[in-house]
Structure 1
Amino acid sequence: MHHVREIMDEVFESANFISIISFRKTTGQSGTLLSDTNDYLIWHAKNKSSVKFRHLFLPRVGFGWVNYDYVALPGGIHRKMTKEEKANPEFLPKGSRIYRRSPLTSASSSETTSMVVEFDGNKYLPGKGGWKTNQRGFANLLAANRLEAYGTTLSYRRYSDDFPFFPVSNAWTDTASGGYGVDKIYVVQTNLRVIERCLLMTTDPGDLVFDLTCGSGTTAYVAEQWGRRWITCDTSRVATTLAKQRLMTASFDYYKLARPSEGVGSGFEYKTVPHVTLKSIANNEPPTQETLYDQPLKDVRKVRVTGPFTAEAVPSLHAKSLTDIEKENQGSGQSVARSGETSRQAMWRDELLKTGVRAKGGRKLEFVRVEPMGGTRWIQCEAETRDDIPQKVLVVFGPEHAPLEQRMVENAWQEARAFKPDILLFCAFQFDEEAAKDIDELKPEVAGMQLLKVQMNADLFTDDLKKKRASNDSFWLIGQPDVEVRQIREGEDKGKYQVEVMGFDYYNPKNGNVESGGIKNITMWQLDTNYDERSLFPSQVFFLMAGEKDGWATLAKNLKAEIDLEKVEYFSGTVSLPFAKGDNSKIAVKIVDDRGIESLRVISL
């Protein structure tokens, strides 16, 4: 932790350090030495003097509070509680009020707080310091029946119901996740209460929250719940898929807005509680109203679901040396896609040999050998399938921090033709849309070989995540979308276009054929009717899960509402609504199959 603190001090400057917060992560843990039951948060600000902070309060539970040993009985009698009464306050008569004797003296003094105070026929002095209030304040305390003498000094009766809350400190002992708490869906999932407290302390509704290690999406989930905007990212496809699923199936309470016409940025209506203090009584002022930021008022007639969000894959750009750029040039003066050998490719070869490539229905494309290939520029290794009649496979690995680009497909295919393989395998973390389209459209009868796309699991970037994974699915075959575009020839939509998704075409490693998977394997598809070749902006989205036991029924159950299945049919079809040709004269169809694998088909109109 101290090393993290050093880095944070260097980034934000030590003067902007605010606090180290300890929080309980488990109720108990065995070990040979002391059990480690706490984790820590290190809090810095960009500028400590202007940091946003909202006080949070926790309710005081029971009456076993420090020094709250006295009781005011309904008849006006004040006495110390017995051990039995303190252990079981219900033994006290109805209408009793528990209190403590709080000192009225202060270390500092002035002329107005050093006077003699008379009470019950006795005179009292503040001692070396002074009183916490003046003569008029004592008169108000006396009128409120708050004064009590003990020994040679006066005290102030602070009742347990004056403010039955205490402020949250930097020691959070109520965050333990052991026992029967929320089920974890990710190995390093953070307790909801920890993230919730951080957000409520430091942000307001409408503020933007950034979490650069998404995991199971806890930060995004909590931000969505409390009306904060959010951005989250992760290198693991598993993590982002879990987060998307978690957000899309969540439902939340609907909180009342402070000013509905201004939206969530105006904040919520919160529960407030009076905070009776010595100052408020002594000055005869109404008590301060404390805002409970973790208790917004609810509209029980409504329920919320997650708002719109986008999931984007952004390649990590990195600078290349002039030598590397020069090596990639082929005399035309243009730099080819970032396609050179990387330090990880030896590990990827070993992983490919070990795990094979997962295909549809649990089938696998397995190898008896995967070896480096010398004398080639675009093809990294040669493999042989584990079949009765082995097939020769050439493997192309995409760049480590960028999409596999269209020119790389063309060059690899031209290079592979001399070796006459049965299969040319393109393995990548990301595929450029045009590159994916070329791989799909280069049929064996034209290419002389079967071209296949393989999605590489992003956990391969991180050795420790790869080791901790429950499955060995590091490589997945990507299905090819089967899409038909037609122009409407008659009716009121004449001249417009319509898209029909026919299904996914999958490569079957058992027989070597490409087979249609049909629409039953499609979970969702999206249509961008004016694709700009940069970003996908779907104007039509369809969820093929409208059966009684499918996703819409699950959503209805979560919302405790009824779903009109007839209306849902609009969202569950395979045929798009009619649309006019856009300025870019291109459309993009993105399909997600039942494994969570995404595939994009770009079509020119």
Structure 2
Amino acid sequence: MTSQRPPGSFPVKFQGRTFTPKSNYWKTGEVGMSRLTKATRLDPMRDTIRYVRFLDDFPAIPINNYWADISGAVQSRTDPKVYVVQSSRELIQRCIVMATDPGDLVLDPTCGSGTTATVAEQWGRRWITMDTSRVALTLARTRLMAARYPWYLLADSREGRAKEAALTKRPPAETPVYGDLRQGFVYERVPHVTLKSIANNPLIDEIWEKWQQVLEPLRGELNTAMDKAWEEWEIPRDSGEPWDSGSAKAHAIARDASRPEAERISALAIIAHNLGPSFTFETLPEKPRFPWPQEAEAAHAQWWAARIARQKEIDASIAARADVEYLYDKPYVDNARVRVAGPFTVESLSPHRVLPASEEELIDEIEAAEGRRSASDAALADQDFATIVIDYLRAEGVKQQQKGDRVTFESLVPWPGNFIGASGTFFEGENGPERRAAILIGPEYGTVGRQDLVAAAREAVDARFDVLIACAFNFDAHSSELGNLGSLRILKARINPDMHMSAELKNTGRGNMFVVFGEPDVDILDEGGEMIRVKVNGVDVFDPNTGDIRSNDTKGIAAWFIDTDYNEESFFVRHAYFLGDNDPYKSLKTALQSEIDADAWATLYSDTSRPFARPQSSRIAVKVINHFGDEVMKVFRV
């Protein structure tokens, strides 16, 4: 009750004694001390008084730097292990909830199994996650899209305001609601009762005065009936005069039915010897006390009933006026709804930025001069990567969507061109003519652009190649607009990111390291009005048996997305649709374990988009994804 700072060192009268702080000051003033006394929050101890604190004054424990309640830092016991280095869901959840607010952006540069993205999605955080492995991305996408997430009550919603009003006992605000996630959720809260909140609570005085008008007359009746002068703190909790200690101990033994009967009979004999009257087990009183006069018993019972009622009312006023602490990991859930992840919002397609050649050469020279790198390291690195690509091409060829559509090379050797890195031959069909293919090998870490394809295609035409196959990890958006240069076919073969793990993978010839996923066959349904629509007919693919372009139907399309206002930097999924000859509706119902609105699903399972406004950028982008996860994008001017 004392501190090194004022407000004062005045004497305090408590339970018939006077206390003063010896060297310090009381933590509150005279009014505050009076309210602490009335609230039964003081306790005498020798020559000073203490402040009484209850466990439910603050029934929460702040989290410190030692998280002993998280069992495993690597993998959660509640989540099945689907990835070799899967992180603990509880660990990631604590970090995100502690460090971010709803609507904040969480970045995970190493996706893995998608734990960070899944937790961020659950807690209403925006997220970006990435990885170089198709396995990791597929696992993360499946985990995100098939999960069920709780529907937390938004603070900026009618339901959330109604819940908040019920918790605070105040009428809800009548201002408009917008469902703004950044306003947060409606959280559970706990009171945080402090000495200051009690000392500054004027309701305690009002409640005290009201109940004193009831308690004081009853105390007077009790003192008169018992011929006592008890103060309030001296009134015993139980009525009746207590027996002596020996009789009280024998009383406990006699009433204990689990003891041997001989012990209980001996205890009755001790009571009769000490007190005089004899008792049986049936006539033994419940409490070891002599009864009070009837008037005293009645006044005592009424006084304690009023005393308890006063304390409950004071405690309620303390809890109502106390500060609250929000439990940000316990928002209220609307169990009548379930939430699922929508389509991924942003997928970056920006080309990788590289230094100009002159700066690269300067850096190489400086590092070579300092002995940190030889002058030929860069050339050797490119040569090693090109050799790996050629080896895989020679063993596996280039796969397309149909199983039979595979370009298998009869021969494949390096080619000393400026853009073309290899030359190969293959046969069209079983007995078809032999064709020569020029191989453009893209950078190990970078993107092939339209200008690269044009330069390589011109070199291939001059060398009289029949087909140009560009192999790269990624192509920029405008490269999809170039499908041929004159009679030269241009195929864009996307390299599986697992190529970076070539040292760990065996060259078995059974993988899909190079996949050509053709151009989307799309119609723009433009009737001249303000709104337009898009219809996808299939995918145009190169037929190695005939050398022609063949159009497939929509059965090979798993999903297709539209960016209705493409900015040439990032692809924003503004429309998402699903196709395929399987039954994704049934699969989705199984994954979500709930019914789905058939009309709503019909707007998603379609080869024709919903109408949308003409883009301000005059460009739209359509991305098509097949069942293998391969994707291709095409940009249209509208």
Distance in 2 between the 1:271 and 1:210 partners?
A: 28
One-letter amino acid of the structure 2 residue matched with residue 373 of structure 1: W
Say whether 1:373 aligns with 2:424: no
Equivalent position to 2:79, from 158, 182, 186:
182
Aligned to 1:353: 391
Distance in 1 between the 2:499 and 2:440 partners?
A: 16
Say whether 1:194 aligns with 2:91: yes
Aligned to 2:539: 504
Secondary structure, counterpart of 1:221 in structure 2: helix
Equivalent position to 1:432, from 472, 476, 483:
476
Aligned to 2:628: 595
Say whether 1:303 aligns with 2:338: yes
Relative distance call for 1:128 and 1:529 in structure 2 (3 A) is: closer
Say whether 1:455 aligns with 2:494: yes
RMSD, aligned α-carbons: 4.7
Q: What is the Cα deviation at residue 592 of structure 1?
A: 0.6
Say whether 1:314 aligns with 2:350: yes
One-letter amino acid of the structure 1 residue matched with residue 518 of structure 2: Q
Kept in 2, the 8 Å contact 1:380–1:395? The answer is yes
One-letter amino acid of the structure 1 residue matched with residue 385 of structure 2: M
Give the TM-score normalised by structure 1: 0.63
Equivalent position to 1:543, from 555, 573, 578:
578
Relative distance call for 1:453 and 1:124 in structure 2 (3 A) is: same
Distance in 2 between the 1:171 and 1:124 partners?
A: 41
One-letter amino acid of the structure 2 residue matched with residue 503 of structure 1: G
Q: What is the Cα deviation at residue 158 of structure 1?
A: 2.7
Q: What is the Cα deviation at residue 221 of structure 1?
A: 3.4
Distance in 2 between the 1:495 and 1:120 partners?
A: 85
One-letter amino acid of the structure 2 residue matched with residue 311 of structure 1: E
Q: What is the Cα deviation at residue 395 of structure 1?
A: 2.2
Q: What is the Cα deviation at residue 311 of structure 1?
A: 1.6
Q: Deviations over 1:423-460 (max 9, x none)?
A: 53211122234433323x469xx32xx64321123455
Distance in 2 between the 1:581 and 1:130 partners?
A: 74
Kept in 1, the 8 Å contact 2:151–2:334? The answer is yes
Equivalent pairs counted in the alignment come to 473
Q: What is the Cα deviation at residue 317 of structure 1?
A: 1.1
Equivalent position to 2:513, from 471, 475, 480:
475
One-letter amino acid of the structure 1 residue matched with residue 191 of structure 2: P
One-letter amino acid of the structure 2 residue matched with residue 523 of structure 1: A
Kept in 1, the 8 Å contact 2:495–2:515? The answer is no
Aligned to 1:289: 324
Relative distance call for 1:373 and 1:134 in structure 2 (3 A) is: same
Kept in 2, the 8 Å contact 1:546–1:568? The answer is no
Say whether 1:279 aligns with 2:179: no
Distance in 2 between the 1:204 and 1:585 partners?
A: 36
Relative distance call for 1:535 and 1:119 in structure 2 (3 A) is: closer
Kept in 2, the 8 Å contact 1:460–1:474? The answer is no
Secondary structure, counterpart of 2:346 in structure 1: coil
Kept in 2, the 8 Å contact 1:358–1:473? The answer is no
Kept in 1, the 8 Å contact 2:442–2:471? The answer is yes
What does residue range 140-151 of structure 1 map to in structure 2 within 5 Å? 140-149=35-44
Equivalent position to 2:154, from 233, 254, 257:
257
Q: Deviations over 1:26-68 (max 9, x none)?
A: xxxxxxxxxxxxxxxxxxxxxxxxxxxxxxxxxxxxxxxxxxx
Aligned to 1:267: 184
One-letter amino acid of the structure 1 residue matched with residue 420 of structure 2: I
Give the TM-score normalised by structure 2: 0.60
What does residue range 580-591 of structure 1 map to in structure 2 within 5 Å? 588-591=621-624
Q: What is the Cα deviation at residue 236 of structure 1?
A: 4.9
Larger radius of gyration: 2
Q: What is the Cα deviation at residue 254 of structure 1?
A: 2.3
Relative distance call for 1:405 and 1:153 in structure 2 (3 A) is: same
Distance in 1 between the 2:325 and 2:616 partners?
A: 56
Distance in 1 between the 2:543 and 2:596 partners?
A: 38
Equivalent position to 1:409, from 431, 448, 453:
453
Aligned to 1:6: none
Relative distance call for 1:406 and 1:160 in structure 2 (3 A) is: same
Relative distance call for 1:500 and 1:256 in structure 2 (3 A) is: closer
Q: What is the Cα deviation at residue 593 of structure 1?
A: 0.4
Q: What is the Cα deviation at residue 393 of structure 1?
A: 4.8
| Gaps in structure 2 of 5+ consecutive residues | 158-176, 202-317, 362-377
Aligned to 1:112: 8
Aligned to 1:169: 64
Distance in 2 between the 1:248 and 1:365 partners?
A: 34
Secondary structure, counterpart of 2:151 in structure 1: strand
Kept in 2, the 8 Å contact 1:271–1:296? The answer is yes
| Gaps in structure 1 of 5+ consecutive residues | 1-103, 326-339
Aligned to 1:85: none
Kept in 2, the 8 Å contact 1:214–1:232? The answer is yes
Distance in 2 between the 1:572 and 1:341 partners?
A: 49
Say whether 1:525 aligns with 2:560: yes
Kept in 1, the 8 Å contact 2:425–2:437? The answer is yes
One-letter amino acid of the structure 2 residue matched with residue 172 of structure 1: W
One-letter amino acid of the structure 2 residue matched with residue 481 of structure 1: E
One-letter amino acid of the structure 1 residue matched with residue 513 of structure 2: F
Q: Deviations over 1:111-130 (max 9, x none)?
A: 724x6666556666656555
Q: What is the Cα deviation at residue 289 of structure 1?
A: 1.4
Greater relative contact order structure (CA < 8 Å, 6+ sep) = 2
Secondary structure, counterpart of 1:349 in structure 2: helix
Q: What is the Cα deviation at residue 380 of structure 1?
A: 1.7
Distance in 2 between the 1:209 and 1:482 partners?
A: 33
Q: Deviations over 1:530-586 (max 9, x none)?
A: 767666566754211586x42x33444555542244553343233456889879887
Kept in 1, the 8 Å contact 2:86–2:115? The answer is yes
Q: What is the Cα deviation at residue 192 of structure 1?
A: 3.1
Aligned to 2:373: none
Distance in 2 between the 1:566 and 1:147 partners?
A: 67
What does residue range 46-85 of structure 1 map to in structure 2 within 5 Å? none
One-letter amino acid of the structure 1 residue matched with residue 479 of structure 2: A
Kept in 2, the 8 Å contact 1:256–1:269? The answer is yes
Distance in 2 between the 1:583 and 1:147 partners?
A: 72
Aligned to 1:64: none
